[in-house]
Chains A and B, each alone.
Chain A
Amino acid sequence: MDPLSILLSRIQMGFTLGMHIIFPVLNIGLALFICIMEGMWLKTKNPEYLRIAKFWTKLFAIPFGVGVVSGIVMSYELGTNFGNFTNAIGEVLGSLFVYEVLTAFFLEAGFLGIMLFGWQRVGPRMHFFATLMVMIGTFVSAFWIMSANSWMQTPSGYTLIDGKYMVNSWLQVLFNPSFLHRFTHMVLATYITASFFIAAVSSWYLLKQRHINMSRIALSFAMWMALILVPLQFMVGDAVGLIVHQYQPLKTAAIEGVWNTQKGAPLVLFAIPDSAQEKNLFAIQIPYGASLINTHQLEGELIGLKSVPPEDRPVVGATFFGFRIMVGIGVLFLASVLIGLWLRIRGKLYTTRWFLWSCVGLGPFGMIATIAGWMTAESGRQPWAVYGLMRTAAGASPVPASHVALTLSAIIIVYVAVLLSCLYYLFKFIRRGPEMTEQEREIAGAFTYMGNP
């Protein structure tokens, strides 16, 4: 097969996946938030909760639409560009894919109409039910997709017959060794991403002195969520690291920048891994750190990248830097939630301007961390499509390179345009803000000469 065609297909797959992941990761968390706010309104009848739910539902519609259409591309792209891969693992991936569509995609799409446009047409309880179904749909879709992806990382429950993966046990396929850890890690990532996004929007309103009551409720909720989930995410991340080291030691080696197999490997805080010279340049490191983190023992042994020939090594740069970006953002988040807690105790959470501005700045970082983490997981899996068993290159479709070049360029243009317009309308929508209450309308009416608020 044409190596150029394979390379282009891989770039295209990576690009479309990376762009797509931004949207579900935000939507899964936002759906839960909206669901909780609407539930709180039903319970307390406090109209601020309803305002929050309505505002965020409208906002939710923007990234949700992009997530749906970019997801449809994915469902076909696997077959168009990696036909040999889909053929070989058809029994595993195909069945999971059917279940995902049946139990997740339809649930989201089927109730989204009522969630967005049904306020006047169904009762409050039915509307809440629709929101709940959308929330569950987004959550369940993460279940299936993480199961399929984890199976590619740590395949189990199959027999290999004539190059095809035949399922022995569906339970072992679904709950493969890395699934529960990676699924939890991902779900927490979505909730943290949404928390910081909600905190950013609410902080901005507080800074602009707009919609103060609802923004306080939302910011408070988001900071509580993040305070619980960020430390939890560090613990789950640590557990994921142990699993990676157990099943994919070379991924760990790429993450930690370990070239030679060694005991008591140092934690490389920063370096530029040089694949040609097979060493790290400009390394800043803490002795024993990497062994301690990945094996929970000071003298634990880490396999080095040089233990296998270069063609069997992961993409070191992307894995190494992706991991550092993800963890770096995690540390920022941890600092932010701790400062937030301290300010809350002192009763200054809603008025400390520098903190509110820092929350605005952190708004998109959950999505960036997720992309970085996903890059770590997938680059570290290379050169395998099914870890240790099937090479990514062997899975490609026999499509002419010129065709892939054409679609790749078209996809980059279209996706960048979509992303930019999505951001534009998101900002526009946030600037305009939620519908004003009676009281706010009176105040705004008195100051109409100041222009449209």
Chain B
Amino acid sequence: MVVEIAPRDTLTEAEIDAIFQALADATRRDIVARVLVREQSVSTLAASYAMSFAAVQKHVAVLERAGIITKARRGREQIVHGNARTIESARGLLERYEELWRHRIARIDDLLSTEGDRHAHS
């Protein structure tokens, strides 16, 4: 019932933590929701919130570090895109549960083959 196994493929534990920490903030979730629908400049985003440009830029930086969004310079603007693939990977937690069962089955196999060896040698 405790799922603490590193996922098999794309994301490390640290990356998953970064993703969930990034998404634990309502403003950042809102930014993600917006840029997944359509790419937006940081200044357009900043205009949507009752906070400073610098504060919005900081939120964007947290999301970028977590790989949830990517930022590209276009002329004088910084354009933010959503990275749906990273978000999809975070949903791979079902696979983490699968990993737990792989571990259990490997343990059973170890137990049974240790016994098999003992019998073979006795």
**Is this pair of chains taken from one and the same complex?**
no
